[in-house]
Amino acid sequence: MHIRLINPNTTAAMTATIRQAAEQLAAPSTTVSATQPDAGPVSIESHFDEAVSAVGVAEEVLKGEREGNIDAYVVACFGDPGLLAARELTRAPVIGIAEAAFHMATLISTRFSIVTTLGRTGIIAEHLLEQYGFSHHCRRIRAAEIPVLDLEDHPDAAFSRIVQECCRARDEDGIGAIVLGCGGMANLTHAISHEVGLPVVEGVSAALKLAESLVGLGLHTSKFGDLDYPRPKPYTGKFADFSNLTLPPTR
């Protein structure tokens, strides 16, 4: 099977980190590829960043559909930007890394905490917990207060801050697992778990394995109801290329 990872930001180094982390865990029969939008924010740290990046996610799914050989997609940003819109554009499973991480964490622990980058992105994660129905499982959302790009530009200092917050979560929150709240942390799972001594769930790997499972089970995105393909219509201005989208049959 072929799983396409979509990094919704435009930082190529982070796309490479995400791909490498996924390749290490993919099944031998799974091909992993990774891509990113041609335009958009270099990191995603706000609602505005997410809104802009969601268009790029949709464009990357459409590119994948034109290639015709993608079995599943992973939206590799913890805000899951554009997730439902992406699901409308394909029959292939589309997995967001936050939703995947929450599911996985509840399978190994009754309570978890999230350690993310900035406090404001923690608020976005709180919205997702409520939306997905996991609020009662999450004890606390903690922020290391590091910009996302510090994961690439200052990796040692960023790692130290993340481990500090994970240790506080372990000691203070009464939890059994930690969820890492950023796709850029994809390569840190084992090192953090070793330092902290708790199971650590990271969304890119969780989404990859869920995608493999859905494809293996022969399950696809339902085209009955709100996730059916968008109705063709004219789009204007910079979105004119979305006009009258030609997508596969709905049934």
Average of per-residue pLDDT across 47-68: 97
Q: Which pLDDT belongs to residue 249?
A: 57
CA atoms within 13 A on the CB side of 203: 29
Q: Band of the pLDDT at 246, cuts 50, 70, 90?
A: confident
- At 247 the pLDDT is 79
Token pair of 192 as six digits: 């953090």
| 57 phi/psi in degrees, rounded to 5 | -60, -45
Mean pLDDT of 217-233: 96
Mean pLDDT, to the nearest integer, of 204-227?
97
Q: What average pLDDT does this structure show over 48-61? A: 98
- 99 pLDDT more than 90: yes
Task: Name all domains of the chain by residue range, CATH numbers in brackets.
Answer: 2-96+206-242 (3.40.50.12500), 98-203 (3.40.50.12500)
Of 31, 33, 53, 55, the C-alpha closest to 42 is 53
User: Tell me: the pLDDT tens digits for 5-22?
Assistant: 999 999 999 999 999 999
